[in-house]
Amino acid sequence: MPEPLDAALAEVRSMLLGSGLTRAVAAGRRRGQRPSVVRAELRPVVLKAGPRLQIATSDGVRPYTRNVAPGPESDAAVEALLAEPFGNWHVETANSTLQLRVTKSGEAQVHRAAAQPVRASGDQPDGQQQTAAVPGGHDRAKEYLLDPGDPIFVEIGGSAAKRRQVDAFLRALVATLPSGLTGPLRVVDLGCGNAYLTFTAYRYLSQHGLDVDLVGVDVREDQRRRNTELAERLGWADRVRFVAGTIADAAVEPAPDLVLALHACDTATDEALARAVRWGARWVLAAPCCHHDVAAQLRAGGAPTPYGMLTRQGILRERFADVLTDALRAGLLRLHGYRAEVVEFVDSAHTPRNLLIRARRTDAVPTDEQRTEYRQLVEQWRITPRLETLLNPATASH
């Protein structure tokens, strides 16, 4: 439930100036207001002169860091930051985590959680070591990007497999978005299903100070209702919303900056990639699921000489179709001004569908060599990828 903003900021102030602070981030902006800096990060450090509160701010162009002494100096610095109209505060202490978001009505939406306890390697679920960051220290053990003890996992489920997939997805997301990204970020998740990756994406991005507006699209009305109810329970309904409709036709306005399409089946992935291209999305993350379309074309048309052995047996034909489909998808994205990579999503020990197409719009004009390479490949194998048909309906033909 919303809380009075003054009381919530007083709680933040107490945590910032308390002895247990490990890290805090302020970013985003309130409705109709703009802070003097786009982001501020605070953490305790120990210098030769003694303990200090380090405050790193950015105006969107260059960073500025200062170290203030405990007492009146740090009190004044914290008061000045709290007076800025930031839209989000994320504060971590040795004992707790607080996430504050200022709503459009000027109230505070606050989430509080206990700090994740430090565990030995043998105590961590799945044998994965997780060590809390030491205040003032610089060496940190590798850990989950989203705390396994985060309350979001109470809502979406926190099985070991789900945590692994969430962490793999978030790491791919971090690798895709540029460092130091500021300003509003519009995200669309096409074919979101039960939306657990949708919700964790919002949770992670908003925790790191981004002003996120996220829309999940799924063809099923019951999923839309379920996901909307969950967004309301989490207090995110004004930032995370859901619509029922097809990937190709669902109403989404304005156009997104980031498009997600995670495990959309068969040509639904092509529909998501095509819509991302038509939107001019800056970034795309797509984890394809099944690949029936090209496999069916290979079965009907056969293989060119001397590649018959690649498609004669069903299981080899299916696996080859998987590779060929995603290679052509990446090639088509490059022909439409994107830098595209196909990378491992989740370790193949956990799922056979473990590839991720990661694309960033560069608006680079494709070379003649790239066009020729793509055209020769599809003509030699006598196939027409669904993505080509969607992007170039006038020229694509079987």
What pLDDT does residue 392 have? 85
Q: Where are the domains of the chain?
A: 5-115, 152-391
Give residue 346's pLDDT band: very low, low, confident or very high (50, 70, 90).
low
Mean pLDDT of the 263-281 span: 93
* Confidence band of 108 (pLDDT split at 50, 70, 90): very high
Residue-wise burial string across 58-68, b where 16 or more C-beta atoms lie within 10 A, e elsewhere = beeeeeeeebb
CATH number of this structure's domain 152-391, picked from the four choices 3.20.20.70, 2.60.40.10, 3.40.920.10, 3.40.50.150: 3.40.50.150
Handedness of CA 137, 143, 149, 155 (dihedral sign): positive
How far is 151 from 101, CA to CA, in rounded Å? 16
Beta-bridge partner residues of 15: none
* Cβ atoms of 24 and 41 closer than 8 Å: yes
Tokens representing 207 are 């925790």
Residue 113 has pLDDT above 80, yes or no: yes
Mean pLDDT of 331-341: 96
Q: Above 80 in pLDDT, residue 353?
A: no
Provide CB contacts within 8 A for 144, sequence distance 6+.
128, 130, 163, 167
Confidence of residue 296 (pLDDT cuts 50, 70, 90): very high
For the segment 367-398, what is each residue's pLDDT rounded down to a tens digit? 999 999 999 999 999 999 999 999 986 554 44
- Rounded to whole angstroms, what are the CA distances from 177 to 185, 187, 207, 210? 11, 12, 15, 12
Mean pLDDT, residues 287-310: 90
3-state secondary structure of 143: coil
Average pLDDT on 205-216 reads: 90
Q: How is residue 108 written in tokens?
A: 């505070």
Helix (H, G, I), strand (E, B), or coil: what is residue 96?
Answer: strand
pLDDT band at residue 209 using 50, 70 and 90 as cut-offs? confident
pLDDT exceeds cutoff 90 at 2:
no
Mean pLDDT for 236-243 is: 92
pLDDT, position 281: 97
- The model's confidence at residue 47, banded by pLDDT at 50, 70 and 90, is confident
User: What confidence score (pLDDT) does residue 170 get?
Assistant: 93
In this prediction, residue 118 carries a pLDDT of 39
Distance between CA 189 and CA 197 in Å, rounded? 9
DSSP secondary structure of 34-78: --SSSEEEEEEEEETTEEEEEEEEE-SS-EEEEEE-TTHHHHHHH
Query: Could you give the percent of the chain with pLDDT greater than 70?
Result: 88
pLDDT recorded at residue 163:
85
Digit-coded pLDDT (tens) for 140-194: 444 788 887 777 887 888 787 788 889 989 999 999 999 878 778 999 999 999 9
- What 3-state class would DSSP assign to 102? strand
Q: Which of 47-61, 104-118, 148-162, 289-303 has the highest mean pLDDT?
A: 289-303
More confident residue, 235 or 177: 177
Asked if residues 53 and 74 have their Cβ atoms less than 8 Å apart, the reply is: yes
Say how far apart CA 27 and CA 90 lie, in whole Å: 9
Categorize the per-residue pLDDT at 95 as very low, low, confident or very high, splitting at 50, 70 and 90. confident
Residue reference for tokens 């043998």? 122
For position 207, what pLDDT does the model report?
Answer: 83
**Coil, strand or helix at 382:** coil
